Homo-oligomer: A and B are copies of this chain.
Amino acid sequence: MNTIKVAILGLGTVGTGVYKLIQKRADVMERTAGAKLEVKKILVRNMQKKREGVEQELLTDNWKEILEDDEISVVIEVMGGLEPAKTMILEALEAGKNVVSANKDLIAEEGHVLLDTAQKNQVDFLFEAAVAGGIPIIRPLKQCLAANDISEIVGIVNGTTNYILTKMTEEGMDFADALKKAQELGFAEADPTADVEGLDAGRKVAIMASIAFHSRVVFFNVHTEGITKITARDIAYAKEFDSVIKLLGVAHNTENGIEVGVYPMMIRKEHPLASVRDSFNAVFVHGDAVDDAMFYGRGAGEFPTASAVMGDVIDVVRNIGYGCTGRISCTCYKDLPIKEFGQVKNKFFIRMQVANEPGVLAAIAEVFGDHKVSITRVVQEHSAPEAAELVIVTERVKECNMQEALKALMEIPSIQEISSIIREY
Contacts and interface: CB of A to CB of B under 8 A. Distances in A.
Q: How many copies of this chain does the complex contain?
A: 2
Interface stretch (A25-33, A255-263, A385-393, A417-425): A25-33
Contacts of A277: 270
A137 to B, nearest CB: 9
A294 B296 contact: yes
A144 interface: yes
Contacts of A298: 290-293
Interface stretch (A186-194, A232-240, A300-308, A406-414): A300-308
A298 B292 CA distance: 7
A33 B290 contact: no
Contact of A272 (B134, B135, B287, B296): B296
A147 interface: yes
Contacts of A31: 214, 331, 333
A146 B289 contact: no
Contact of A144 (B282, B287, B308): B308
A341 interface: no
Interface in A314-341: 314-315, 318-319, 321-324, 327-328, 331, 333
Contacts of A282: 294
A235 to B, nearest CB: 18
A23 B331 CA distance: 20
A307 B295 contact: no
A200 interface: no
A81 B28 CA distance: 34
21 contacts: A21-B147, A31-B214, A32-B214, A134-B289, A135-B293, A136-B293, A136-B295, A139-B139, A146-B315, A147-B310, A270-B275, A275-B275, A282-B294, A291-B303, A292-B296, A293-B295, A293-B298, A295-B296, A319-B327, A321-B327, A322-B323
Interface of A: 17, 21, 25, 28, 31-33, 128, 134-136, 139-140, 143-149, 214, 270, 272, 274-277, 280, 282, 287-298, 301, 303-304, 306-308, 310-311, 313-315, 318-319, 321-324, 327-328, 331, 333
- Among all A-B residue pairs, the 7 with the closest Cβ atoms: A147-B310, A136-B144, A293-B297, A324-B324, A289-B307, A322-B324, A294-B296
Given A147-B307, A289-B310, 8 more contacts: A25-B147, A128-B144, A134-B289, A143-B314, A145-B307, A146-B310, A270-B277, A287-B307
